[in-house]
Structure 1
Amino acid sequence: MSNTVMADKSRNRLYIRYGEMTIEQYFQFTGEIIKEAGKLEQGFTILSDLRNFSLPKGENPIQANIREITEVQQKLKKLGASEIIRVVDPQVWLFMAMGEAEKSAGYEAFIFDDYEEADAALDDMTEDIHSENGRTVTS
Structure 2
Amino acid sequence: MHSIQADILKNRLYLTLGNISSKKEIQNIEVLVLQQVKHLKQGFTCISDLRTFCMEKSLSDNFMQEIQEILWDSGVRAVARISPIRECKGHFRFEKGSALWPGYKIIPVASLEEAEEKLDSLDTPSV
TM-score range, shorter chain: 0.5 to 0.7
- The equivalent residue for 1:32 is 32
Aligned pairs, number: 90
1:79-98 aligned within 5 A: 79-90=74-85
- Taking structure 1 as the reference length, the TM-score comes to 0.55
- The equivalent residue for 1:132 is none
Larger-gyration structure (1/2): 1
For 1:44 and 1:36, locate their aligned partners in 2 and report how far apart those are by CA, in whole Å: 12
Question: Which letter does structure 2 place at the counterpart of 1:7?
Answer: A
- Structure 2 segments unaligned to the other structure (5+ residues): 98-127
1:69-108 aligned within 5 A: 69-90=64-85
Runs (4 or more) in structure 1 with deviation over 2 Å come to 65-72, 89-92
Deviations 1:37-77 (A, max 9, x none): 1110000000010001123xxx3156xx2345423322211
Residue 89 of structure 1, CA deviation:
2.7
- The equivalent residue for 2:8 is 9
Q: Matched residue of 2:76: which SS?
A: coil
Identity of counterpart residues, as a percentage? 27
For 1:9 and 1:33, locate their aligned partners in 2 and report how far apart those are by CA, in whole Å: 14
Q: Matched residue of 1:35: which SS?
A: helix
- Tell whether the 8 Å contact from 2:43 to 2:77 is kept in structure 1 after alignment: yes
Higher helix share: 1
Task: Tell which has more relative contact order, 1 or 2 (C-alpha 8 A, sep 6+).
Answer: 2
- Taking structure 2 as the reference length, the TM-score comes to 0.60
The reply to whether residue 52 of structure 1 matches residue 52 of structure 2 is yes
- Structure 1 segments unaligned to the other structure (5+ residues): 101-139
